[in-house]
Amino acid sequence: MHYLALLYWHEDPRTADPDTPEFAEDVARYAEFDKAAGAAVVGGGALYPASEALSLRHDGDKVIVTDGPFVEQAEVIGGVMVLDRDNLDDALEVAAQIPAAADAGGAVELWPMAEFRQDDGPQPDWWLALLFEPRDTAPGPGSAAWEEGVREHSRFGEVFSSVLRGGGALYPAVAATTVRVRDGQMLVTDGPFVESTEVASGLYFLAAADRDSAAAVAAQIPVAGKGGIELRRIVDMGE
């Protein structure tokens, strides 16, 4: 089964900027993790600073675009990973080894995925569109609302297939788990890391030449009710 790991931390401008030595040191930590995790990691990417994020909120027929992350809080998402494990316990063991889990104020938010695909990458023109929906109304797989969402996303995928590089859907928030490591001990709590009225519900990887082009595509992604999207540029690690 696939699990989406959202990596939360207190963003330090020195480690968040890909052009700094501190970022390179962080990359080395994650390279060690990747080596140890092996085939357990099947997707994801590091993200440019949250200060460069765009948020797109749907309000009826309008899309309101603002600077900054979709959910305002002290901790921000610095990267995403997709894990392939047989069960939640195995996924938690891997998630606990992700450096963000042990960082001061950091955590890994783990979501089971209903579906997932990602092309080889990331490439220099990749962007992450992370979808959010109201916590209390997010549908579960198999429900009528879920199936309607599948049809809407299928239509979106047909129109924008040339720029889509992958994506996936998440189970509702009741299935999420948060992992922290403190003093060498793994701490696991039920539910998302973020106490918010909106929670993650899915993601797309897309290709675009610049932020405006990426935002134009992201604005067409179907989201339910008053949901929205956090748009982040993905770091090209040159692999």
What CATH number does the domain containing 30 carry?
3.30.70.1060
Residue 15 clears pLDDT 70, i.e. is over it: no
**Cβ–Cβ < 8 Å for 33, 81:** no
pLDDT tens digit sequence for 112-152: 999 999 998 789 999 999 999 988 888 889 999 999 999 99
What are 204's two structure tokens? 């797309």
**Arithmetic mean of pLDDT over the chain:** 92
Q: What is the pLDDT averaged over residues 75-83? A: 95
Task: List all residues 6 or more positions away from 214 whose beta carbon is below 8 Å from its beta carbon.
Answer: 127, 129, 206, 208, 231, 233
Q: Judging by DSSP bridges, how do beta strands 185-190 and 41-46 pair with one another?
A: unpaired
DSSP structure string for 94-153: HHTTSHHHHSTT-EEEEEEEEEEEE-S---TTEEEEEEEEETTTPPPTTSHHHHHHHHHH
Specify the higher pLDDT residue, 121 or 234. Answer: 234
Query: In this structure, what token pair is assigned to residue 186?
Result: 């793994």
Q: CA-CA distance, 153 to 238, in Å (whole number)? A: 30
Which of residues 213 and 61 earns the better pLDDT score? 213
Domain around 173 = 2-233
Q: Is residue 138 part of a domain?
A: yes
The reply to whether 239 falls in a domain is: no
Q: What is residue 33's predicted lDDT score, i.e. its pLDDT?
A: 96
pLDDT category at 36 given cuts 50, 70, 90 is very high
Q: State the pLDDT confidence band at 13, using cuts at 50, 70 and 90.
A: low
Residue partners of 202: CB distance under 8 A and separation at least 6:
131, 153, 167, 168, 169, 170
**Residue whose token pair is 């930590």:** 29
Q: Is the peptide bond before 222 cis (omega within 30 degrees of 0)?
A: no
What's residue 226's pLDDT? 77
The total number of structural domains that make up the chain: 1
Q: pLDDT value at position 184?
A: 95
Q: Is 88 helix (H, G, I), strand (E, B) or coil?
A: helix
Is residue 221 in some structural domain?
A: yes
Residue 239 has pLDDT above 70, yes or no: no
How many beta carbons lie within 10 A of that of residue 134, not counting itself?
15
Largest CA distance in the chain: 50
Q: How confident is the model at residue 197 (pLDDT cuts 50, 70, 90)?
A: confident
